[in-house]
Amino acid sequence: MIRLFVNVDHVATIREARKTIEPSPLKAALLAEKAGAQGITIHLREDRRHIQDDDVRLIREEINTPLNLEMAPTEEMVQLALEIQPYQVSLVPEKRQEITTEGGLDVCSQEGMLSETGKRMHDRGILFSLFIDPDAKQVDASKRVKADSIEINTGRYTELVSIEGIRAELERIQASAGRAAEKGLKVFAGHGLNYENVKDIAAIPEIEELNIGHFIVGQAVYGGMENAVTEMIRSIKAGRGNQS
């Protein structure tokens, strides 16, 4: 079974619209765990548009599953991660003007800095992951900087509409997953996944973990967090060929 890490960022997005205390990302995380999520993901952005520093500390202390902290590879974020010590840090590119993460990290152009960041994480017992596009050069560079895992960006796959385009992007994802696994990297995936398009991603045998947030939070508005997580787990199992 693929692990599902639920990203609760956009619960905080709703809260920050009024700068109040509700809804609570922690409460959403606990409900996701109750429904079967194997981990929680949060992205602390430099502009603090949703998750806040206190959220990171509180969620780290109160959840019962591992915390995956997404962040930009900046010194401010590295220092915070070293202080809080999540289970895993996932480095992502970040632009202030973007609505959501627009692409994978260019590992090839930052190998020295990323190697040093990874070493600092490993020295504190924190796993080190890189969010990359499905590209052989980025996979190879991730191995060179001693990442524990990669998270393959499925954003382009989820945006395509033609059967030919979807098939070609799936082949890129499959090839990158296979290449990474051969090199000893753990393989995760995420971005833009929903109940339907997750199935073909879940069918890729090398993928061990999925990070899904926006769609689950959106569905939770209609039917509750537990129902949304349960339905996503059902879709993941269907994609993996396990209907139990």
Sign of CA dihedral 89, 91, 96, 101: negative
Is 43 catalytic? The answer is: yes
Q: Which of 10, 191, 206, 209 is catalytic?
A: 191
Q: Which amino acid is at 171?
A: E
DSSP designation for 146: T
How long, in residues, is the chain? 244
Distance CA 12, CA 50 (A): 5
Instruction: Tell me which amino acid residue 53 is.
Output: D
Q: Which of 70, 94, 151, 169 is catalytic?
A: 70
Residue 39: alpha-carbon gap to chain centroid: 10
What are residue 230's phi and psi, to 5 degrees?
Answer: -60, -45
The H-or-E segment that residue 7 falls in is strand 3-7
Active site residue 111: no
CA 138: distance to chain centroid? 17
Question: In the annotation, is 10 catalytic?
Answer: no
- DSSP summary character for residue 213: -
Please pick, among 43, 94, 169, 209, the residue that the annotation labels catalytic: 43
Burial class (CB in 10 A: 0-12, 13-18, 19+), 134: buried
Report how far residue 139's alpha carbon sits from residue 28's, in angstroms, rounded to the nearest whole number: 33
State the catalytic residues: 43, 70, 191
